[in-house]
A and B are shown apart, each in its own frame.
Chain A
Amino acid sequence: MEYRIIATGFLALFLSGCVKVTTLDAELENKVVVEFILTTGSVQDLYLSLTKGPGEKEPSPLEDAEIKLIDVSLGVEKDRFVKVGDNHWTLDYSGMPGHKYRLEVSVEGHEPVWAEQEMPSARVPEKAQPGHTKSQKFHFYGSFYNILDMPEHMILRIAKQEEETGEFHFAEELCTDYPGVEDVNLTGRLYDGNPRWRTIGSDTETGLPVTDYSYYVRETEGRDGVWTYMFPDLIGKDLHRDFLLISRVEENHPALGDLHDFLGGKAFSVSGPFDMGEKNPAYRGYLICSSLSADYYAFLKDAYQMKKIREGGDLSSIYLRDNIYSNINGGLGIFGAMTTGSNEFNANSEDLAPLPFVFEW
C-alpha cells in the first residue's frame, strides 16, 4: 500500500512537471496592414487593419487613418480616401496605365507606412487562331494565342456576355498549355479534351472531314468510333478554378517548344470543359486579361496558396514559416496595380472588339 502511495505521488509530480503550454510569444509590436489594388475602375477600395499578437483574441479596431495616394508621374496628390465601413476605405479615381503612384498611410500610435507602384500597360495576348473557326458551328471552347508580347504577369478569364442583359457568365474551369501557369487554384480535375463529335462511326454527328482536321481527331480507348476533341494537346492538363494566373516565361523555356506551331510562331491554347453555346447573336465571348504589377502577382500567388492551406485540414500547415509577400514599407499587406483588357473570344485578331466594360477583380 505504502509503495502505491509513493509511486502515485511520483507520477502526479512528474506529470505536472513535464509539459507546459507555451505561446512562443516574442512580444512583437503589432503592424499596420494595408490592402489596396489600384485598377482602371472608377472606384478604388482600400482595406486597413492591424495585426494581433499571440495573446490577443481580436485585433485592435482602427477608427481613423490618414491615407494619401500620390500620382508620382504627375506629381499630384489625389483626393483623400473615405471610410465606408469597418476596415474599408474608398476613393473615386481611375488608375492611369503607365503612371507611378505612392501610397502613404498614417495610423495613430504606429509609424507611417508607405509603398510605391506602377500601373501596368493594358496588354492582351493576341489570338493566333480560334478553335474550330472552319466549323459551321462556332462553338465557344477556346483559342490559340501568340506567346509573344504577353504581359509579364497576368490573370486570364473567359466570359460570355448576354447582349440583351449585359450579364456575364464566367467559365468555372479552364486550362492552358502555357508553361508559366501557377497551380494556386487547381480543381483537382484534368481536362479530357471535351469530346464533342464522333467523326467516324455509326453516328457521325458533325461529319468533319478527318483528313483536314487530323489534329483534332483521336481514336480513344473505350469509345466507339473516331472522335474530334477540343484542343487535344491540353488533354491531361490541370483544370484551374475561375482563372489562370500566369507569369511570362523566358523565350528559351524548353516547354515552349512543345506548343503548337502557327505561321506567326508558337501559340498556347486556352480551353476548358465548358460549352458557352453556339456563337449566337445573343452572346459575345471574351478572353479577359488583367495585367498585374509584379508586386501584386507575388502577393496573389502567396495569398491563394495560404488561403488553400488555411481552409484545408493539412497538418503540415502548422510547420509553414512563409510570409505572404508584402511591399508595404513598415507594415504588411499589398499595394498592387492591375490593368484589364479583353479580346473577343471567337473573332480573328483583326476583329478585336473594343473593351465594352471595365472588369474589376
Chain B
Amino acid sequence: MRKTRVSLLVLLPLFLPLFARAQETVRTDTLRSAIKTEVRSEVRSINKMEGGGGIIRGVLSPMGEGDPIRWSQTLPGISTGADGSSAMYVHGGNMGNNLFSLDGVPVYGYSHILGLTTAVPSSIIESASMTKGGFEGRYGNFTAAHLNIITRDSFSERFHGEGTLNNFLVGACAQGSLGRGMSFIASARISPIGLEYKALRNLLPERLAALQDISSGVGDIYGKFNWTIDSRSSLSASALLTLDRYGFTTGEGSRDGLGWDNQIAIINYRRIFERTEMEAQAYVNRYGTFQSQEKNYHGSSNVLSLCSSMLEGALSVDFSYRNPFRWELEYGARARYALFVMGPPSSHSGKGTMLVSPYAQVVRDIPGRLRMQAVLRGNGYLNFSDGVVRVRPDVSLSFKWNISKPLALEGSFDYIHQYYHTLEGLPLGWSTDVIVPSGRTAPPEYALGGNLGFSLAMGRHTVTLGGYGKRMVNLVYYKYAQSLFTDAFAGWEWSVETGQGNSYGGEFLYEYVGKNLYLRASYTLSKTDREGFATINGGGKFNARFDRRHVLNFQGQYGGLSLALTVQSGHWENAAPLTYQIHLPALETETWFYEGINNYHMPTVFRVDLGYGRTFHTGRFMHTVSVGVCNVTNHFNPFMLYYDVTSDDWKMLALLPILPNFSWKVAF
C-alpha cells in the first residue's frame, strides 16, 4: 500500500495530546449536573429539534468539543457526507439545499478545518435548532433543512474571558459590558496545524523527511456589539470572518490546494410595540472557494483550478404579533441581491440576481392540545444576466396534536423553492460547493414533501417514529467535468441538465434522560434517487450520491463518560469503467465504458468514539478538560477519493483513523 503525505496534514494534530498531557489535572466533576440541565432544555419534535450551547458542545467530536453540525448529524432523517466531513443531506436533498444560518443570515461556507468543525465558534452559540419540515416564514431560499444558530448576547456587568485549546484550534473569547446598556462578545481562533507540523518535523526528522510543502492558514474572528437602547429597543452589529487555506504535496511534481472563506457583517434592530415586535436586519455576506491541482500527468504539466464566489446583500423586516387568544401572526419581507462569480480566474464574470420574499405566518397554539402553523411566502426573482423573472409561492403547514398526555401526532407539508443551485456532478475529489444562480437554463429548484409521525413521552423515555416523502424538481447536474477547468465554466449554464429527485423513508428516535445517564438512539431507513436528466444515465434513475439506506446513531453519557456510535451504509461513487479497444482505421485507441452514475457502493461507515470530560476550578478560573478517542476500532471510513498520478489509480483517504483528542477550556 502506498503511503501518502496528504494524510499527514490531518493526522498531525493527534500528537497534541502527547504534548499536553501534563495539563490533565483533574480535581472535581461537575459535568453530570450540566448534562441534566442542558438535555432537559432541548426541544424535541419530528420536524424540529433545538439544543442549547451546552448540549451542542457535549457531542463527541474529533475536536474534543461538539458543534452544531456534529449535533445535527446525529439526528434522525439526516445522512452525513463522507466520514469526518461537515456535510449533511436531509430527506434526500443536496448539501446546498440546507440553510445554515447565523442569527438568520446564511453562512454558505460553514465547514472549517477540512470539515471537522463549523466556522462558527461554539463559545458564541446560545442555541441551535434543526428544522426538517414545517418551515418558518422568515427563512426561505432552501428546500431541505434549516440549521439556525443563535449567538449569545452579552448582558453581564463584568468581564468574562475564555481560552480554548484542542487538537486543531487555539481560541480565545471575551465578553463584557461597556456600560450604558452596551456590551460585546469577541472571539478569535487559529489553527496550529502548521506549527504542529514544524514541531513534529524537528522531533522526527527522519520519519518526516519526505513531508514537504505542507501549508495551511485556518482561523476565524467573530465580534458582536449589542446596545440595549431602552426597555423596548435594541441594536446589535456583528461580523464573522473565516478562512480555510490548505496546500499539500501528494507526490513528485504534484501539489494540491484548496480553501474557502466567509465574510459576514450583520446589523440588527429590534423594537417592541404594544403586542408587536419588530426586527429589522441588514447584512452583507461574501463566500469564496478555490481548489487547484498541479500535477505531472503522462509527461505533461497540468494546472487545474476552480474558483467561485458569491456576494449577497440583504434587507429584511419582520413583525410578530401575539393576541390574547393565543393566535400569533408573523409577517415581513426580505430582499436580497446576490452576485455570483465562477470558473477559472481567467474567466471571472459576475452574474447578478435579486430575490424579494414577502411572507405571512399564522400560529394557533392551544397549550397541551394543539399547535398549528401555516406559512405563505411569495418569491419574486430576477436574474439580471439572462433577464429571467420568476414569481413563485412557498407554502408550509405543520401541526402537533396531543392525542393524550404522552402521545402526540405530528405532521408537516412544504412546497418551497430555492433560487441558488449547488452543482451536482463535479468530479471525484473536487469540492461540491460551487453555488450558482438559477436562470433560463436552470430554473429554480423546488421540493414538495411532507412527513407524519407519532411522539410518545413517558417519564424519562421519549420515542418518536415517523415517515417522510419528498419530490425534488429542477435539480441541476453539471455534465462536462472536463470543461469545469476551462473558461467554458464561466458559461456553466450551458453545461447543466435539470432533473428530479425522490426520497422517502422512516425515522426513529429514542431518548432516555436519567439522573446520571443519558441515552439517545436514532435510526433512519431511506431511499433517495435522481432521474430525468436527459443525457445522464439515459434519463433513467440512479442513486443519489449520499443515498445511505441505513443510518444508525447512538449516544450515551454517564457521568463524565461519553460514548458515540455511528453505523451508516456507504455512499455511492462512479464505478471504474470497462475498457475496450477501438480498431477502426484512424480511430485506434483504448477507451472506457461507464455503466452508470453513482453505481459503486462505498464501504459501510462504522465509528465508535469515546470521551471523558471534567470541570474543575483553580482560584477564579474554571477549567473544562475533555479527552477522548475518535474511531476507537480504527475502522477505515473513506473521507475522499483522489487520483494518484504516479501509480495511475484511485485511492481512498480516511480522515479519521483512530485519533486521540484533547480539549482544554479555561474561563474566568
Contact = CB atoms under 8 A, between A and B. Distances in A.
Interface of A: 3-4, 6-8, 10-11, 13-26, 28, 30-31, 33, 35, 37, 47, 49-54, 59, 87-88, 300, 303-304, 306-307, 309-324, 332, 361
Contacts of B595: 26, 28
A312 B300 contact: yes
B643 to A, nearest CB: 5
Interface of B: 1-4, 6-8, 11, 14-15, 18, 200, 203-204, 207, 293, 295, 297-300, 302, 304, 427-428, 430, 480-482, 484-485, 573-595, 597, 599-600, 634, 636, 638, 641, 643, 645, 647, 649-654, 657-659
B583 A21 contact: no
Nearest to A312: B300
A307 B482 CA distance: 15
A43 to B, nearest CB: 13
A301 B641 CA distance: 31
A49 B581 contact: yes
B585 A4 contact: no
B304 A315 contact: yes
Contacts of B293: 315
A316 B429 CA distance: 12
A315 B302 contact: yes
B88 to A, nearest CB: 24
5 contacts: A13-B658, A28-B578, A47-B583, A53-B578, A313-B298
User: Is chain A's binding surface mostly helix, strand, loop or mixed?
Assistant: mixed
Given A313-B300, A323-B593, A18 B653 contact: yes
B347 to A, nearest CB: 15
Nearest to B254: A315
Closest 7 CB pairs of A and B: A313-B300, A319-B427, A26-B575, A18-B7, A315-B302, A47-B583, A51-B578
Contact of A319 (B482, B576, B653, B654): B482
B591 A319 contact: no
Nearest to B295: A315
Identify the interface centre among A26, A33, A35, A323: most chain B CB within 10 Å of its CB. Answer: A26
A332 B580 contact: yes
Contacts of A6: 18
A12 B569 CA distance: 29
B580 A20 contact: no
Identify the interface centre among B6, B15, B484, B638: most chain A CB within 10 Å of its CB. Answer: B15
A33 B645 CA distance: 29
B583 A361 contact: no
A15 B8 contact: yes
B584 A51 contact: no
Contacts of A28: 575, 578, 595
Given A10-B14, A316-B482, A18 B576 contact: no
Contacts of A87: 581, 583
A66 B421 CA distance: 51
A58 to B, nearest CB: 10
B485 A316 contact: yes
B297 A14 contact: no
A68 to B, nearest CB: 20
B600 A16 contact: no
Contacts of A22: 641, 649-652
B634 A17 contact: yes
A47 B583 CA distance: 7
Nearest to A26: B575
A300 B587 CA distance: 8
Contacts of A26: 575-576, 595, 599-600
Contacts of B4: 18-19
A207 to B, nearest CB: 43
Contacts of A14: 7, 11, 14, 657-659
A323 B592 contact: yes
A7 B204 contact: yes
A144 B302 CA distance: 41
A168 to B, nearest CB: 15
Nearest to B294: A315
A86 to B, nearest CB: 9
Contacts of B2: 19, 21
B204 A8 contact: yes
Given A24-B650, A314-B300, A16 B578 contact: no
B650 A23 contact: yes
A214 to B, nearest CB: 37
Contacts of A300: 587
A353 B595 CA distance: 48
Given A59-B580, A315-B304, 6 more contacts: A16-B1, A19-B2, A19-B651, A22-B650, A310-B589, A323-B592
A187 to B, nearest CB: 15
Identify the interface centre among B11, B430, B641: most chain A CB within 10 Å of its CB. Answer: B11
Contact of B578 (A19, A52, A311): A52
Contacts of A18: 4, 7, 11, 653-654, 657
Contacts of B295: 315
Contact of A19 (B207, B485, B591, B652): B652
Given A13-B658, A312-B300, A323-B593, A7 B203 contact: yes
B204 A4 contact: yes
A313 B207 contact: no
Contacts of B575: 24-26, 28
A30 B302 contact: no
A270 B421 CA distance: 44
A314 to B, nearest CB: 7
Given A88-B583, A316-B481, A321-B594, A24 B1 contact: no
A7 B18 contact: yes
Given A35-B584, A306-B591, A307-B587, A20 B7 contact: no
A19 B587 contact: no
Contacts of A15: 3, 7-8, 11
A76 to B, nearest CB: 27
A319 B581 CA distance: 20
Contacts of A312: 298, 300
A175 B293 CA distance: 35
B168 to A, nearest CB: 15
B589 A306 contact: yes
A357 to B, nearest CB: 17
A339 B580 CA distance: 27
A333 to B, nearest CB: 8
Contacts of A317: 482
Contacts of B18: 3, 6-7
Contact of A17 (B430, B481, B636): B636
B589 A19 contact: no
Contacts of A323: 592-594
Contact of A20 (B1, B579, B593): B1
